[in-house]
Amino acid sequence: MKAKGNPPSDGPYEARFKDGSLACSGQYRDGRKQGDWVYYLKDGSVKARGAYVDDGFEGFWVWFRANGKKMQEGAFEANLQVGEWRRWYDNGQLMDVGCYADGKKIGEWISYHPDGRVKSRKHAK
């Protein structure tokens, strides 16, 4: 996710929307995003939360919808998706779940209808 504004080479960073509300906050080291970052919607609610190492996604990340419900969550290693990932519909019902290894889908992926019924089961190649 891109931070807007002029980031420092080192230290804390905050970007703001035109109305002055906080858009994101985090840290830079040697001109790269490091550590925990939080991105916000204009209403102040959290849009996404996670960590960076040298500008790349690292560790567990979660994204939220404008209604406050989770949109998706999963982990990264060296900026590649790993482990179990989940996505949800606007109504909070699980949309799909499956695993990644080195940024590629692996194993069984299960998709659901918005009412929770299983829509499909597919194996990633």
In this structure, the answer to whether residues 39 and 57 fall within a common structural domain is yes
Task: Supply the CATH number for residue 17's domain.
Answer: 2.20.110.10
Distance, CA of 115 to CA of 99 (rounded, Å): 22
Residue 110's domain spans which residues? 65-125
Final residue of a structural domain among 39, 63, 87: 63
Q: What is the pLDDT of residue 5?
A: 61
Has residue 1 been placed in a domain?
A: no
Q: What are 32's two structure tokens?
A: 């790269």
CA distance 9 to 92: 39
DSSP class per residue in 45-111: -EEEEEEEETTEEEEEEEEE-TTSSEEEEEEEETTEEEEEEEEE-TTS-EEEEEEEETTEEEEEEEE
69 and 57 part of one domain:
no
Domain count, the chain: 2
CA dist., res. 112 & res. 94, Å (int): 7
Please give the DSSP secondary-structure letter assigned to residue 6: -
**pLDDT digits (tens), the chain, 125 positions:** 555 567 778 999 999 999 999 999 999 999 999 999 999 999 999 999 999 999 999 999 999 999 999 999 999 999 999 999 999 999 999 999 999 999 999 999 999 999 999 999 999 97
